[in-house]
Amino acid sequence: MRQYFAIAAFGLLTACARLDHVQIGEIDQSQGTLIPFNVQVSQFGFEAAAAAELGRAVSKGRTAEQFQQLRDILALMNMGPRTGNPVYDDEYANKVMDYIYAECPTGKMTGLTSVREAKAFGAVSGEIVRLSGYCIL
């Protein structure tokens, strides 16, 4: 029993961060007063194939084989081009513009930096979009 707990704890406590995209713009100070702003949105997801792999690692015999078959089927179902891990709400980043306009009502911005990254905690993952820049008043 202690062995299963140790394997489960290891799987849940190990984490990995991945940087997917960074874009940095130029800062134009000639247009007016610059006020810095930061916006971040994130969403959690669940990777079923990783959960099946964790189940395979903690089980033995026929059950381990069934978990491996399930993992392989889930991996084949999710083949093809994709960026990042699956999330619960695919439209979570659509709210970024609303948050930016709340921080910068004029809509005039410069020096935008956008960062898209992911953090994985075993079968659970988080996708994060961060934007920072300067609002021109």
Q: pLDDT class for 38, splitting at 50, 70, 90?
A: very high
- CA–chain centroid gap for 61, Å, is 34
pLDDT of 115 reads: 85
Percent of the chain whose pLDDT exceeds 90: 6
Cβ–Cβ < 8 Å for 30, 136: no
Q: pTM for this one?
A: 0.59
pLDDT of 135 reads: 92
Which residue, 28, 26, 37, is CA-closest to 100? 37
pLDDT of 125 reads: 75
Does residue 101 carry a pLDDT above 80? yes
Does residue 131 carry a pLDDT above 80? yes
Distance, in Å, from the CA atom of 6 to the CA atom of 15, rounded to the nearest integer, reads 16
Q: Six-digit token pair at 127?
A: 């996708």
| Length of the chain, in residues | 137
Note the pLDDT tens digit of each residue in 18-29. Answer: 666 677 777 777
- Amino acid identity, position 37: F
